[in-house]
Amino acid sequence: MEGGIVSRNNVRTFGKGTQPMLFAHGFGCDQNMWRFITPSFEEDYKIVLFDYVGAGKSDVSQYNPDRYAQLQGYAQDVLDVCQALHLSNVIFVGHSVSSMIGLLAAIESPSIFAHLIMIGPSPCYINDDSYGGGFSKQDIEQLLQTMEQNYIGWANFLAPGIMGKDNDPALGQELSESFCSTDPVIARQFAQATFLSDNRRDLANSPVPSLILQCSDDMIAPLGVGEYLSRHLPDSTFALLTATGHCPHMSAPDETIENIKRYLNANT
């Protein structure tokens, strides 16, 4: 089974250290998106990369629509990888929706994790009377409908904005191509699981310390969302980046690395 998980999730490990740093990609992405970050940590940590089932070079034949209808199914991928590799004391680094996936995994199996590092996290994307998630319910319904009707057009339109309009256009193009390489049916279901999720009640149950990395201008996770997390996530550290867009690990890797290292040096 261990080899099956490694193959299923296209798991790669490298690095000279013993403490694992497990990097979990966001929606529409894969483990390749971490290539600007991992070289700065492989001297001191054991780097673990993987693709969620349905993403990257994972075994798409293992995709189960029922399992992955909720973020908990993706959290199980994380736990499966940790168990297959016998990992403990894990520093989990999650981008976007993977921040909440990591939180769910840590709540499920707290003994595995040491820290959660959340890049562009959001516990809920939809506004309500007391919370500004950045989108109305109608916005999200329209987004999901557009994905269903014209997925390639949706990806090409949205990817540059997600990367950040002032960042390298080649990175926006890479993100668009990553979106387009994902099976549209799987992508839409992951988007639905992501954008309709509400993990605000889970925040108080976080069993490990966390770092929140918030970009200064992010269309997916606005500043107010990061500030909300800072108030409601126990034992959390909040860092506001000068970076813009939703993918600072790609568009501003040096600043991202600096903040992660500062946090780990102060807390480990």
pLDDT value, residue 180 = 60
- Cβ atoms 41, 21 nearer than 8 A: yes
- Cβ atoms 26, 52 nearer than 8 A: no
77: exposed, middle or buried (Cβ count in 10 Å: 0-12, 13-18, 19+) = buried
User: For residue 155, is it within any domain?
Assistant: no
User: For residue 184, is it within any domain?
Assistant: no
User: For residue 71, is it within any domain?
Assistant: yes
Phi-psi bin for 56: left (phi > 0), alpha (psi -120 to 50), beta?
Answer: left
pLDDT value, residue 28 = 82
Task: Supply the residues annotated as catalytic.
Answer: 96, 218, 246
Counting the structural domains of the chain, the total is 1
Over the stretch 50-94, which tens digit does the pLDDT of each residue have? Answer: 999 999 899 999 999 999 999 999 999 999 999 999 999 999 999
Q: Which two tokens stand for residue 145?
A: 């409908």
Task: Assign residue 226 the CATH number of its domain.
Answer: 3.40.50.1820
pLDDT value, residue 159 = 72
**CA 65 → CA 31, 74, 143, 195, 199, distances in Å?**
22, 11, 20, 16, 21
**CA 114 → CA 50, 67, 93, 209, 210, distances in Å?**
19, 26, 11, 7, 9
Average pLDDT value over all residues in the chain: 91
- Compute the half-sphere exposure of residue 70: CA atoms within 13 Å on the CB side of its CA: 9
Sites in the chain below the pLDDT cut of 50: 1
pLDDT value, residue 52 = 95
pLDDT value, residue 152 = 76
Its domain, for residue 10, covers: 2-124+198-267
- Cβ atoms 151, 220 nearer than 8 A: no
User: For residue 59, is it within any domain?
Assistant: yes
Q: How far is it, in rounded angstroms, from Cα 168 to Cα 152? A: 21
DSSP-derived pairing of the beta strands 20-24 and 12-14:
unpaired
pLDDT value, residue 123 = 96
Name the residue among 61, 48, 37 with its Cα closest to residue 15. 48
